[in-house]
Amino acid sequence: MFDECKDGLVLAKLINDSVPDTIDERVLNRAGKKIKTLNAFHMTENNNIVIESAKGIGCSVVNIGSGDIIEVREHLILGLIWQVIRRGLLGKIDIKLHPELYRLLEEDETLEQFLRLPPEQILLRWVNYHLKAANWPRRVSNFSTDVKDAENYTVLLAQIAPDHCTRGPLQTRDLHQRAEQVLQNADLLDCRKFLTPSSLVAGNPKLNLAFVANLFNTHPALDPITEEEKLQVDDFDAEGEREARAYDKVIKGSVNWRHVNKLPTNGNEISRFKAVENTNYAIELGKQNRFSLVGVQGADITDGQRTLTLGLVWQLMRKDISETLSALAQRLGKREISDAEMVKWANDMARKGGKSSSIRSFKDSSIGTGVYLLDVLSGMKSSYVDYDLVTPGRTDDDAIF
């Protein structure tokens, strides 16, 4: 199999299968009338296109080059293949494609919080939703030990496709036989992919993830949402254009807008490939400005990875504050604005508003109550704060409020 990958053609087809139209296959070198046999140069060109395209759809390609593919370094090729397949399967777990995912929200969970979950967690949520609907007592928290006995799969298939699948495999004691029966049920739904009875019983997490993702993509079995619920399904910002605007606002002239894919004028959504191109560019701009973004890929932002996205936004905010303070110091004829000067200004503002609160440094624990910050705002403009709504902030809930 790996020898078939060395010229890049098979990998290019795999990428286009996962994310259609990523590669224009007309640019690839092929054996034919013009080229009798592909040489190393032709293969290198093909594999460079493959690697750049894989990066464009969000794969991590830091440790692989065209030479690794030509030299058939199996572990690197296998890693790339898995990433491409994973992107193709998990990229479709999107509320824009499946508005019915709204059904998976838990009590008191906002849509924004739900959309920040990694695709793997959404799939687990989907499986457990159907297990609960089937009145089955078990739940899954992983794609390994919790599914290896095939019981949960048996119930899941019977729940999402009761006209084709039954709970019959639960009566089979031999795990391999039960696994085969489950896969036969999946075959009735045209979903017998990725898993074999042995890999199911072994609890292979990658293959089980692929199996469940394919099952969801073809048979989500979730009730359509109502018109009222559609109003609550807000657009999820994953196109990367806003990050570019933020950079341009904070660091004037830092964005080359020719590198930014805009939303289509016809009102359609931007494709995932173009969205990842945008967020990759946002990561590149961050690195140019010495942000710490080790291991962060544009696809992480597109997929709404909360921690990584907040890390980028926080560094951009810090850069904005730094630029603002530098400009202020320059206007005042100073080299920089010290922490002591900022603390003095804030305390003066609080006193101007008729309040006695003050801090000694930005590490002062009283800042955590929120009252001091409100006093500073009131000193800036009295109409900013309605003190009838202000609590002492002694508890965590009061402080957050």
Task: State whether 325 and 352 are in the same domain.
Answer: no
332, 367, 385 - which closes a domain: 332
Q: Are 349 and 334 in contact (CB under 8 A)?
A: no
Residues 124 and 218 in one domain: yes
Q: Which amino acid is at 147?
A: V
Say yes or no: 181 and 274 in one domain: no
- Strand runs (DSSP E) across 34-111, as ranges? none
Q: What is the domain extent for residue 77?
A: 2-91
pLDDT per residue as tens digits for the range 3-45: 889 899 999 999 998 888 888 888 898 888 788 888 899 999 9
Number of domains in the chain: 4
Tokens of 13: 């087809």
The residue type at 97: L
Q: What is the per-residue burial (b if ≥16 Cβ within 10 Å, else e) of 253-263? A: eebeeeebbee
Q: How far is Cα of residue 330 from the mean position of the Cα atoms in its chain?
A: 40
Residue with token string 């949402």: 225
Cβ atoms within 10 Å of 184's Cβ, excluding its own = 12
Q: Hey, how many other C-beta atoms are within 10 angstroms of the C-beta on 183? A: 21
Task: State the DSSP code for 338.
Answer: -
Low-confidence winner among 217-226, 269-278, 323-332 (lowest mean pLDDT):
269-278
How many residues in the chain?
401
Strands (E), 94-244: none
183 and 153 share one domain? yes
Burial 190-218 (b: 16+ CB within 10 A, else e): ebbbbbebebbbebbeebbbbbbbbbbbe
Residues 261 and 278 in one domain: yes
> Taking the model in full, what pTM does it have?
0.60
Give the type of residue at 21: D
Amino acid identity of 346? A
pLDDT tens-digit readout, 61-113: 888 999 999 998 899 999 999 999 988 888 888 777 788 888 998 888 887 77
Query: Does residue 44 form part of some domain?
Result: yes
- What is the average per-residue pLDDT within 204-210? 94
Please tell me whether residues 201 and 298 are part of one structural domain. Answer: no
Backbone angles phi, psi at 146, to 5 degrees: -80, -10
Helix (H) and strand (E) counts in the chain: 18, 0
Q: Are residues 105 and 62 in the same domain?
A: no
Mean pLDDT of the chain: 85
235, part of any domain? no
Mean pLDDT of 119-139: 95
**Are 206 and 279 part of one and the same domain?**
no
The answer on 67 and 111 residing in a single domain is no
The answer on 205 and 121 residing in a single domain is yes
166-206: pLDDT as tens digits: 999 999 999 999 999 999 999 999 999 999 999 999 999 99
Instruction: Assess if residue 201 is contained within a domain.
Output: yes
